[in-house]
Amino acid sequence: MPDSRKFIAYCAPFVVFVILFGLEPLLRVAGWPRSPEFWIYPIQTIASGVLVIFFWRDYRMQRPARVGFAIMVGVMVFVLWIAPQQFLGFTPRPDGFNPDFLSADPVWYWATVIFRFLRLVVVVPLVEEIFWRGFLLRYFIKEDFDRVPFGSFSWLSFGIVTALFGFSHSMADWPAALLTGAVYNGVAYRTKSLPSCVLTHALTNILLGLWIMKTKQWGFW
């Protein structure tokens, strides 16, 4: 059995993140409170981020390994995500949270954008890589996952984590997300470094965030 603290450390930030993510559309349908997207994402960002900080020592974060490789993959995955609309003529995705309607109030506009980027570039890469690559990729090799060296390979683990990572995204993103899950697993195998996986994911997301702001394809948030 895995150590209970390690299990909680690797899973709790992700579980809180997913619960709050699922709460937003339910509140929107219920119609109360109004505009949950304005406050649920900051709460999600803060709550998950605080948990990561609290358990930070449990993750054994060292300096990233094979940084050049991690950066190359991060850029490659970004291109993979934008390729259908940018290069292949697929229908743009403008439907989503558009901060431009707050442009008349610069304080609220920039506060909203900053929290979106904080969530996208810092919290999401940490929470997801700690869970998917740090925990689950090892858990499907051995239940006592913390005894499995990071980056250990098994076909069962690779297949399950790739599928779960891919299908945890919206249906429109499944093809890109499945490929991304496989590639990010590959970063774990190649670098043997959780921080390198976080770096790759963060680079992909900051490039995607900047592209979203430039093209106004809010559906990629």
pLDDT in tens, 143-155: 999 999 999 999 9
Between CA 190 and CA 69 the distance in angstroms is 9
Given a cut of 70, whether residue 1 has pLDDT beyond it is no
Q: 30-63, pLDDT tens digit by residue?
A: 777 777 777 888 899 999 999 999 999 999 899 9
Residue spans of the domains in the chain: they are 61-220
Q: What is the pLDDT of residue 3?
A: 79
Average pLDDT, the chain: 94
Neighbours of 151 (CB within 10 A): 21
pLDDT of residue 52: 98
Confidence of residue 189 (pLDDT cuts 50, 70, 90): very high
Q: Contact 161/35 with Cβ under 8 angstroms?
A: no
77-132 per-position pLDDT tens digit: 999 999 999 999 999 999 988 988 888 889 989 998 999 999 999 999 999 999 99
pLDDT at 221 over 90: no
pLDDT at residue 41, rounded to an integer: 85
Name 2's Cβ contacts closer than 8 Å, sequence gap at least 6: 139, 143, 144, 145, 146
Helix 174-191 to helix 194-215 angle, to the nearest 10 degrees? 150
What is the DSSP code (8-state) at residue 65?
Answer: S
What residues contact 174, with CB distance under 8 A and at least 6 apart?
166, 167
pTM for this model (two decimals): 0.94
